[in-house]
Amino acid sequence: MIRKILAISGKPGLYKLISRGNKSLIVETVDEQKKRIPAFGADRVVSLGDISIYTNDDGEVKLATVFESIKENYGGKAVDLSAKKASQEDIIAFFTKVLPNYDTDRVRVSDMRKVLSWYNILIADGFTEFISKEEEDAEENTAEKD
């Protein structure tokens, strides 16, 4: 499900992929307004399923795994920390709690703020499953082959 959630560079918030138009994607905002807009080829569109966070030991961790960690640490509820107003120290403490082995050199505080903001947007819209069963099975099969 997280594969159909998109971030568009230069536009705030998250978007759900609705359909593909002629040379564009039709997306809908992930909020109470549910406003539909086109995303063109010039827009930098990325699926949340394709985003990873750098770590010290494993190399990278999928964003969905980080969202699952946040969900476990906060009981599946929105985090009461404001992504915009919280101090840098509070954001770092939050991120250290949910992903203790993140790469402190390559993961910036602005990235941490985005993760927090995106998580709260998804929870507010009713998303509760970040990793589907098919993705878990695929990851387990890949780990067994290595």
pTM across the whole model: 0.85
Residues 94 and 42 in one domain: no
Total structural domains within the chain: 2
What residues in the chain have per-residue pLDDT under 70? Answer: 1, 58, 133-146
In a domain, 23, yes or no: yes
Residue 92: is it exposed, middle or buried by C-beta count within 10 angstroms (0-12/13-18/19+)?
A: middle
112 is in which domain, residue-wise?
A: 51-133
Q: Count how many residues are written for the chain.
A: 146
Instruction: Please state the φ and ψ torsions of residue 7, each to the nearest 5 degrees.
Output: -115, 135
Residues 20, 84, single domain; the answer is no
